[in-house]
Chain A
């Protein structure tokens, strides 16, 4: 098996192979003084990572390999980015280093990762079900001993029940709980402590003591068995892990789809005119490619022959197919839907818009601020105290009898089995995540709830988040008069409106959609010719006169666009927001004013967030006056609103907020928001968010309810309260039981009961989160 693994890794040493999951890294080795060092940056999927601390292990293991320059590991997505020098090391060497450290690595962008993900999910489900079924049966065997009076059951019958419990505990201990044992062992070998270590210690001590009781009831370790508490505890822990990875699976799939989106090979025209199949990495700007229907476009470029419809949904969120004719631009990552076309490559690989955003996004998510999880922070002092207490108690009891000393030490270890402590956080977070999922709010990583409860600033994108996606016609002005949007029938009958609406059929711009939406579709089309869309400016066309003899020019678009045409003349100024103007050769015909509609629940949601103690910011790529209107509606201070931001600007403002020590959440929906979503402490993809943004956000809010964002924060704060209560309970439980066990006053059956009760108590307390909040609490947050 191991030899086979090595052979598989050795295959990756072929530069052709490693190019499938690596990119040449030029600018990443600024510290490398040796010129011409061939540096590569590889993405791999790491398996076997269960906690945030594992990311550090993986980093350490990889960094130790000579020739590996830089390693960044993302614990949430199980991905590692490795920068290495091809002059000094080969991929098989650092892959092997990961295997030696106890992890499996697979090249990302490889179909193997998908397969492996499925196997891991099945394995996890199997572990969980084994623990579950064995637990149920063990509890049935335990039941008679709890309810019968002493002596009521024949001793050999009790022995039989214990023996049966022991048999069914074996698969739980050696198979299901193996994840904890293995993780604890790994920690131990590397001299680190996480929550897995006290957990493994607790369950193994309990198991050994119980086994000894089955086979040697008169031995040193007493005659008490704890198989029921033991299996229940393992089952609870595995339930938490299973649910957690289900959540991750549900939202991580889209990112995998994206990374595998670009084709590996393309059909390129050789200079002799024949088609040849080449790898994407061999493409150069200027190459001419043939793209068949159903294929993904591999590079940014221009159509040189033919026309087709493409889908850019993944990139821009625009779900309708778009027509692309000769001379039109194509984006890498979009789908060719209908016809075979030929395209000329303009930009490839890292310089495409697709790659630029993907890489900005990936690096921002790798450099996300890392928080230490409460439970892991507690692990070290907890384990230290427990071991110290067990050792001391044994030492104190030693003069009495060695057997008694051992008994007391074991009792201390059993009571302190960190059931409540290790379940406190996951139980509460999973309960909250389940409740959110039913409201259409999906969490990618439940731990983001902990971060969310500390958030002090929420940044909203404007378009599509605070406002509805669509623009609305607010008013129409013509030389004859003006109408507001309420006088819909008057507008619809106006000839200038009809002209404009017919023109807008040729554009997918939001303003055009707003005008077109009012058009009565049953009217015959006007004889428009030579319609051209000038990107970012407007439309121009010629209208044939009814007799068919002459044509006259028309323009519909921005003020600058119309006035750049001398025939248009002057356009009267209207004190309104965004406007589009229509003119023909004889002058100005009409102006259309548009407004963005702020969502109905935007004001109440923002108010509620402020009531929860958060500052609300708006960062938008839109023009200052459009942003100002939204600011006025939401009653935000002017210094909390940023207009005309590029994606880099947004990231810059976000970093500035974070530099002030604030935990920042970002709510956005678009392609442009992705870098800033990835850089925020917590990110929300809202509403009709593009799939890419959804793939990277910590929280995906489905539906159009902005209130759900406020609900999520409120629930995160409640969750944190419950986590603290649970931890307090765990501390209290230990504070009471440890001294009792220490002095030998805790009978073994009570220790077992306490252990089971403490697990149940934290789980039930967490379940409160699935209930709706009390009415007065809701009223308080809304006030």
Chain B
């Protein structure tokens, strides 16, 4: 069970990394105009 001493702190770091990725995505505008991306494939150009 000693491996948990590594895995639990690692999971904390992982969550922080996920949050960092989300921060990047939000500020890139990835969550704005969600419908527009789906509709783009339907447009002819």
Q: Which residues of A contact B (CB under 8 A)?
A: 118, 121-122, 125-126, 129-130, 133-134, 137, 140-141, 154, 157, 160-161, 164, 167-168, 171
Contact = CB atoms under 8 A, between A and B. Distances in A.
A164 B22 contact: no
Contacts of B12: 137, 164, 167-168
10 contacts: A122-B26, A129-B26, A130-B22, A140-B11, A154-B1, A160-B5, A161-B8, A164-B9, A168-B15, A171-B19
Interface in B1-24: 1, 4-5, 8-9, 11-12, 15, 18-19, 22-23
B30 to A, nearest CB: 10
A118 to B, nearest CB: 7
Interface of B: 1, 4-5, 8-9, 11-12, 15, 18-19, 22-23, 26-27, 29, 31-32
A154 B4 CA distance: 12
Contact of B15 (A118, A126, A133, A160): A133
A-B pairs with lowest CB-CB distance, top 3: A137-B15, A164-B12, A164-B8
A530 to B, nearest CB: 44
A121 B33 CA distance: 12
Contact of B11 (A118, A129, A154, A164): A164
A125 B31 contact: yes
B35 to A, nearest CB: 11
B31 to A, nearest CB: 6
Contacts of B9: 164
A157 B4 contact: yes
B11 A122 contact: no
A157 B7 CA distance: 12
A122 B23 CA distance: 9
B36 to A, nearest CB: 14
Nearest to A140: B11
Given A164-B11, A171-B19, 17 more contacts: A118-B32, A122-B29, A125-B26, A126-B22, A126-B26, A129-B22, A129-B26, A133-B18, A133-B19, A134-B15, A137-B11, A137-B12, A140-B11, A160-B5, A164-B9, A167-B12, A168-B15
Contacts of B32: 118, 121
A248 to B, nearest CB: 15
B23 A160 contact: no
A171 B15 CA distance: 11
Point out which of B9, B19, B22 has the most chain A C-beta atoms below 10 A from its C-beta: B19
B8 A129 contact: no
B2 to A, nearest CB: 10
A575 B12 CA distance: 82
A281 B41 CA distance: 44
A126 B30 CA distance: 12
A166 B26 CA distance: 25
Contacts of B8: 141, 160-161, 164
Given A122-B26, A164-B8, A157 B15 contact: no
A168 B9 CA distance: 11
Contacts of A118: 32
A141 B12 CA distance: 10
Contacts of B26: 122, 125-126, 129
Given A118-B32, A125-B31, A137-B11, A160 B4 contact: yes
B29 to A, nearest CB: 8
A701 B19 CA distance: 38
Nearest to B9: A164
Nearest to A123: B26
B28 to A, nearest CB: 10
A242 to B, nearest CB: 11
A163 B16 CA distance: 15
Contacts of B1: 154, 157
Contacts of A167: 12
Contacts of A140: 11
A126 B11 contact: no
Nearest to B2: A157
A137 B18 CA distance: 11
B34 to A, nearest CB: 11
Given A129-B22, A160-B8, A122 B27 contact: yes
Contacts of A171: 19
Contact of A126 (B4, B18, B23, B29): B23
A374 B4 CA distance: 48
